[in-house]
Amino acid sequence: MPRRKSEAGLEPNRRAELLRAAARLFVDKGFAATTTRDIAEAVGMRSGSPFYHFRSKQELLKEAMIDGLEAGRERLLAAIAGVADPERRLYVLVRTHLGTLLEADCNSPMLLNETRSLDVAARAEIAAAFDRYQAPWQATLDELAARGRIASAAAPLRLLLFGMLNWSGRWYRPDGPLTVDQLADSAVALLLGRRSPDLSRA
């Protein structure tokens, strides 16, 4: 069921619409299993039309990933602005990240999966965007390590942290027994070595 016909150029940003639809489909079905026809149909276009906006299916993926990471980064920076206490800041980072992953309609971190579908040049762009996304995390972990609240801000800890958060995109169900707030609490408690007994019944 196609949407209304576009009025010859009056449509402001079909490109952004395509990117959102593509991101959603890539997350749900995977890059290879998603058809450019699926994407076109999702925004009410004909099969060839996405190629008026993007050179290739790969470019659609690359742009969707970079846009998603950049939007996520801006959400992070806005959320931690003025949060001086590093423990509190870690919580805000975790909660905001889980929000992007589990609540926003474009859970971009899950797309990191699909980097393998890109060529070397595009991979480098993704890596750079992900580094920017990681920067506020690294700063906060460094601060926590300096104060002795975590053992180390070195690679293993940061990667284990992203692992436990990102994997939740695979199993978390919004209609399940666990709220995103509770999940964020559990993750932070685990990281900071607290017992968080209030969650033992979740």
For its own copies, the binding residues (CB under 8 A) are 28-33, 112-113, 116-117, 145, 151-152, 154-157, 159-168, 170-171, 177-178, 182-183, 186-187, 189-191, 193-197, 199-202
Distance CA 117, CA 131 (A): 19
**Residues between 10 and 39 with contacts to DNA, criterion CB under 7 A:** 11, 14-15, 34-37
Q: Residue 180 half-sphere exposure, CB side, CA atoms within 13 Å?
A: 19
Task: Work out what residue 53 binds among its own copies, DNA, none; the CB cut-off runs from 5 to 8 Å by kind.
Answer: DNA
Task: Work out what residue 66 binds among DNA, its own copies, none; the CB cut-off runs from 5 to 8 Å by kind.
Answer: none
Quick one: which of 111, 100, 93, 103 has its CA closest to 184? Answer: 93
Nearest approach, Cβ of residue 115 and its own copies (Å): 9
Distance CA 43, CA 39 (A): 7
Q: Which is nearer to its own copies, 135 or 202 (CB)?
A: 202
Rg (CA), the chain: 19
* Under 8 Å between Cβ of 23 and 87: no
Task: Determine the length of the chain.
Answer: 202
Nearest approach, Cβ of residue 46 and DNA (Å): 4
Distance CA 21, CA 37 (A): 11
Q: Which is nearer to DNA, 51 or 172 (CB)?
A: 51
Nearest approach, Cβ of residue 39 and its own copies (Å): 15
Element (H, E) at 59: helix 57-80
Task: Work out what residue 191 binds among DNA, its own copies, none; the CB cut-off runs from 5 to 8 Å by kind.
Answer: its own copies
**Residues between 37 and 96 with contacts to DNA, criterion CB under 7 A:** 37, 40, 44-49, 51-53, 55-58
Handedness of CA 196, 174, 171, 166 (dihedral sign): negative
Judged by the rule CB under 7 A, the positions of this chain that interact with DNA are 2, 5-6, 11, 14-15, 34-37, 40, 44-49, 51-53, 55-58
